[in-house]
Amino acid sequence: MATLTDELASAIAELEDEKVLDLVQTRLDSGTSPLEIVGNLQQGMTEVGMRFEAGTYFLSELVMCGEIMKDAMNILEPHLAGEDQKHRGSIVIGTVKGDVHDLGKNIVVMLLKGAGYNVIDLGIDVRGEKFIDAIRANEAPLVGMSVLLTACQEGMKGIIEEIRAAGLDTRVVIGGNYVDESVRDYVKADYFAHNASDAVKIADEIFVH
Amino acid sequence: MSMGKEELFQERLNRYTTALKGGKPDKVPIRLQLSEFMAAYAGIKLQDIYYDLDNNIAAVDKILTDFDMDVCGGAPSLWWAGLHDAVGAKYLKFAGRELEENRQFQYVEEDYMKADDYDAFIADPTKWILEAYLPRIHEEFAEPGSYRANLALIKGTAAMMMANGASQQAGAHWAKDFGMPLSIAGISKAPFDTLGDTLRGLKGIMMDLRKRPDKVLAATEMLVGHNIFYGMATAGGDTTLPCFMPLHRGSFPFLNPTQWDTFYWPSLKAVIEGMWKLGKQTMFYAEGNWTPYLEKIAELPDHSIVFHADQTDMAKAKEVLGGRFCLSGNVPNTLLAYGKPAEVKEYVKRLLHDNAVDGAFIIDSAGVMQTDVKAENVFALIEAAREFGTY
């Protein structure tokens, strides 16, 4: 496990919610750039993701981290307007048409944001058209699709076909409890992620090239 | 009941209960959680299954005519959508109303119970449910005591009686006309799931574990007695068949080991042991992966549960629980949807070879099946189970 020298990054990693919010406010008040504060929060979240992968953190810790981040970003967002936020690339993500389950997707979104990506979260019950528009608008090299209900996997296949028919060669990663190689092959996705940290690894692979 | 069907009923029930008790019947019993697949196979749209009790039952009739099973889990729809419409339920969406005509129903998870509701809930759960919770989650109960709310209580109760009556009649019809026993009697939940699924939602419960652990513990302890009663009451006192217990938030990796040991397991164990004292077995329907918890589960009294494996490591389950508990599972749903019949047969052959040799095994799909499953693969599962599962 990495040693986090920054107090804020470390407070996120240790899930000390009140300390995180205090530090964000204190730093803003003392004139630290909001982007630098976001950077520290991301460092802490990356550590949380690593602890999850190492098996020392569980979903309960990821959910808690997500809630702390949401509160921290609520403080920061008014100060971020107009700032040029650097990111590692854009990823479009959503739960596919017919399905409203988003607990897993939200955790993936959090970890991807923590890893420094610009994540365009389309929410739940998302149609192909909406995926295509968002991929085009953001020139996203990667799209993530979440599905829990196995009966909605057929719809996921259709969405991927629509994306291909629109002439987009965006990589597609899929995830969900009942998703494995056979589903990936059936729906013609490029990757499947077994858990949230897999999704980050796949993104890292794609955006390195 | 004609003699042929009655004998068939007894033969199947005996096959099933022998395995449940850890014995070796003449054949490995086949229990399939076919759910919405039944509607697809019968060619009935999902909106017609959810809204029309007769269609819900007719779909099962079609399945029982064509598929050779030993027990049946009931009708494809768990809910009668008309009942939920009568009370304006906000937490369920149905095909034909909020969803397209052939879509699976959806549960809308929210923190319907708020963090500051704990004290009132723990002090008097029934009062809190009636006065605070029901009005919050049903449009028709929004103003308790109003003409509209009182009418909704009457409509809801009447609809519940109609739905329950139809299920009971259907059970008798499947027994009489198909010689088919049911696989379960009654339903209950782990106290942590009652709180974490239905009341507080995932985010709420995960925050509570850190912010108000004492309240979580007090609430789960309070729910033990309720959940034992609920299991027995929904079974009408039956102790021949197991109580269905779908398990959610205890699956790996939701909780860290300390949280699991502290908040999930003690109250679940108490519910299972409490029902077992009344002679009632639990169908431990372990959705997801429970491999890290097998040693803890092994603390339960012999045969107090049937352990159903979804994505739990089957070999490990057999090693830790085998001999003391009946096991069931675990043909993967993705194999049933995307595999070929030959692959399904091969999987079933190996599964039975590894797990069923000494009895105490029931074959089933890993999870509840939906409309994506291919009929030819269900036939292949059954064919292989009969070919390789006859002792």
Which of A59, A103, A151 lies closest to B104 in CB terms?
A151
Please write the tens of the pLDDT for every residue from B60-106: 999 999 999 999 999 999 889 999 999 999 999 999 998 889 999 99
Domain encompassing residue A71 = 7-80
Closest alpha carbon within chain A to B109: A101
Which of A59, A64, A149 lies closest to B104 in CB terms?
A149
pLDDT value of residue B156: 95
Chain-centroid distance of CA B197 in Å reads 14
Please write the tens of the pLDDT for every residue from B333-366: 999 999 999 999 999 999 999 999 999 999 999 9
All residues of chain B having their beta carbon less than 8 Å from the beta carbon of residue A52 are 253
Per the listing, tokens 């009739």 go with B61
Query: Are A64 and A105 within one domain?
Result: no
Structure-block tokens of residue A52: 């999850």
Closest alpha carbon within chain A to B103: A98
Nearest to A71 by CA among A18, A14, A10, A114: A18
Which of B254, B288, B372 lies closest to A151 in CB terms?
B372
Structure-block tokens of residue A12: 């996120």
Q: What is chain B's mean pLDDT, rounded?
A: 96
Q: In which element (H, E) is residue B20 found?
A: helix B3-20
Q: Please, which residues 104-163 of chain A have a Cβ atom closer than 8 Å to chain B?
A: 149-154
Please write the tens of the pLDDT for every residue from A83-96: 777 889 999 999 99
Structure-block tokens of residue B380: 């292949």
Q: Decide: B311 and B301 in contact? Cβ < 8 Å.
A: no
Identity (one letter) of the amino acid at B274? G
Measured CA distances, B90 to A102, A175, B105, B139 (Å)? 18, 27, 13, 7
All residues of chain B having their beta carbon less than 8 Å from the beta carbon of residue A178 are 333-334, 367
Chain-centroid distance of CA B304 in Å reads 17
Which residue among A18, A50, A80 closes a domain? Answer: A80
Beta-sheet strand order (sheet of A191-193): A118-121, A90-95, A142-146, A171-175, A191-193
Q: Chain A: nearest CA to B27, how far in angstroms?
A: 30
Mean pLDDT to the nearest integer, A162-181: 94
The two most distant CA atoms of chain B are separated, in Å, by 63
Query: Are A98 and A198 within one domain?
Result: yes
- Could you tell me the residue ranges of all domains in chain B? 3-78+180-388
> For residue A56, is it within any domain?
yes
- State the burial class of residue A76 (Cβ atoms within 10 Å of its Cβ: 0-12, 13-18, 19+): buried
Backbone angles phi, psi at B353, to 5 degrees: -60, -40
Nearest to B183 by CA among B363, B22, B54, B41: B363
Integer Cα distance of A120 and A131 in angstroms: 10
Integer Cα distance of B265 and A77 in angstroms: 41
Query: Are A58 and A106 within one domain?
Result: no
Between residues B106 and B264, the one the model is more confident about:
B264
Helices (H) and strands (E) counted in chain B, each on its own, are: 19, 9
Q: Decide: A97 and A159 in contact? Cβ < 8 Å.
A: yes
Which residue among A16, A48, A80 closes a domain? Answer: A80
Mean pLDDT to the nearest integer, B45-49: 97
Query: Are A111 and A190 within one domain?
Result: yes
Structure-block tokens of residue A181: 């190689």
Q: Decide: B187 and B244 in contact? Cβ < 8 Å.
A: yes
Q: Decide: B265 and B250 in contact? Cβ < 8 Å.
A: yes
Q: Decide: A45 and A63 in contact? Cβ < 8 Å.
A: no
* Residue A15 confidence class, pLDDT cut points 50, 70, 90: very high
Nearest to B211 by CA among A73, A17, A110: A17
- State the burial class of residue B78 (Cβ atoms within 10 Å of its Cβ: 0-12, 13-18, 19+): middle
Query: Are A107 and A200 within one domain?
Result: yes
Please write the tens of the pLDDT for every residue from B200-243: 999 999 999 999 999 999 999 999 999 999 999 999 999 999 99
Q: Chain B: nearest CA to A206, how far in angstroms?
A: 27
Q: In which element (H, E) is residue A192 found?
A: strand A191-193
Q: Decide: A15 and A64 in contact? Cβ < 8 Å.
A: yes
Kindly tell me if the per-residue pLDDT of B1 is higher than 60: no
Which of A60, A151, A154 lies closest to B259 in CB terms?
A60
Closest alpha carbon within chain B to A107: B203
Per the listing, tokens 């021949």 go with B240
Query: Are A61 and A140 within one domain?
Result: no
Query: What is the fold, at CATH topology level, of the domain defined by B3-78+180-388?
Result: TIM Barrel (3.20.20)
Could you give the 3-state DSSP secondary structure of residue B39?
helix
Query: Are A138 and A182 within one domain?
Result: yes
Please state the domain count of chain A.
Answer: 2
Query: Are A127 and A147 within one domain?
Result: yes
pLDDT value of residue A150: 87
All residues of chain A having their beta carbon less than 8 Å from the beta carbon of residue B337 are 150, 153, 182, 186
Q: Which residues pair with B303 in a beta bridge?
A: none
Q: Decide: B56 and B77 in contact? Cβ < 8 Å.
A: yes
Backbone angles phi, psi at B312, to 5 degrees: -65, 145
pLDDT value of residue B206: 93
pLDDT value of residue B3: 63
Integer Cα distance of B285 and B193 in angstroms: 13
Query: Are A106 and A190 within one domain?
Result: yes
All residues of chain A having their beta carbon less than 8 Å from the beta carbon of residue B288 are 177
Integer Cα distance of A45 and B95 in angstroms: 39
Integer Cα distance of B10 and A208 in angstroms: 64
Kindly tell me if the per-residue pLDDT of B2 is higher than 70: no
Q: Is A53 on the interface with B (CB under 8 A)?
A: no
Q: Chain B residues with CB-CB distance to A under 8 A? A: 36, 93, 99-100, 103-104, 106, 108-109, 202-203, 206-207, 209-210, 253-256, 259, 288, 332-335, 337-339, 367, 370-373
CB contact under 8 Å between B253 and A59, yes or no, is: yes
R_g of chain A computed on alpha carbons: 17
Q: Is A22 on the interface with B (CB under 8 A)?
A: no
pLDDT value of residue B146: 95
Which residues 6+ apart lie within 8 Å of A105 measured at CB? A93, A94, A95, A121, A124, A144, A146, A175
Q: What is chain A's mean pLDDT, rounded?
A: 92
Query: Are A66 and A97 within one domain?
Result: no
* Residue B321 confidence class, pLDDT cut points 50, 70, 90: very high
Looking at B88-211, list the stretches that DSSP marks H as alpha helix, in order from N- to C-terminal side.
118-123, 125-128, 134-137, 147-178, 191-193, 201-211
CB contact under 8 Å between A58 and B256, yes or no, is: yes
* Residue A208 confidence class, pLDDT cut points 50, 70, 90: confident
* Residue A99 confidence class, pLDDT cut points 50, 70, 90: confident
Q: Is A178 on the interface with B (CB under 8 A)?
A: yes
Integer Cα distance of A182 and A155 in angstroms: 15
> For residue A1, is it within any domain?
no
All residues of chain B having their beta carbon less than 8 Å from the beta carbon of residue A103 are 109, 202-203
> For residue A85, is it within any domain?
no
Beta-sheet strand order (sheet of B243-247): B243-247, B282-286, B305-309, B326-331, B361-365
| DSSP string across B116-145 | GGHHHHHH-HHHHIIIIIHHHHBGGGSSTT
Kindly tell me if the per-residue pLDDT of B184 is higher than 90: yes
* Residue A2 confidence class, pLDDT cut points 50, 70, 90: low
Backbone angles phi, psi at B281, to 5 degrees: -85, 155
- State the burial class of residue B23 (Cβ atoms within 10 Å of its Cβ: 0-12, 13-18, 19+): middle
Q: Look up residue B366 and give its DSSP letter.
A: S
pLDDT value of residue A81: 78
Integer Cα distance of B102 and B179 in angstroms: 31
Mean pLDDT to the nearest integer, A42-70: 91
| DSSP string across B270-327 | HHHHHHHHTT--EEEEE-SB-GGGHHHHTTSPTTSEEEEESSS-HHHHHHHHTTTSEE
Query: Are A17 and A58 within one domain?
Result: yes
Kindly tell me if the per-residue pLDDT of A100 is higher than 90: no
All residues of chain B having their beta carbon less than 8 Å from the beta carbon of residue A183 are 334, 338
Q: What is the CATH number of the domain that holds A11?
A: 1.10.1240.10
Please write the tens of the pLDDT for every residue from B122-166: 999 999 999 999 999 999 999 999 999 999 999 999 999 999 999
Peptide bond into B292 cis (omega under 30): no
Query: Are A74 and A103 within one domain?
Result: no
Integer Cα distance of B287 and B119 in angstroms: 31
Identity (one letter) of the amino acid at A118? N
Q: Decide: B180 and B12 in contact? Cβ < 8 Å.
A: yes
All residues of chain B having their beta carbon less than 8 Å from the beta carbon of residue A110 are none
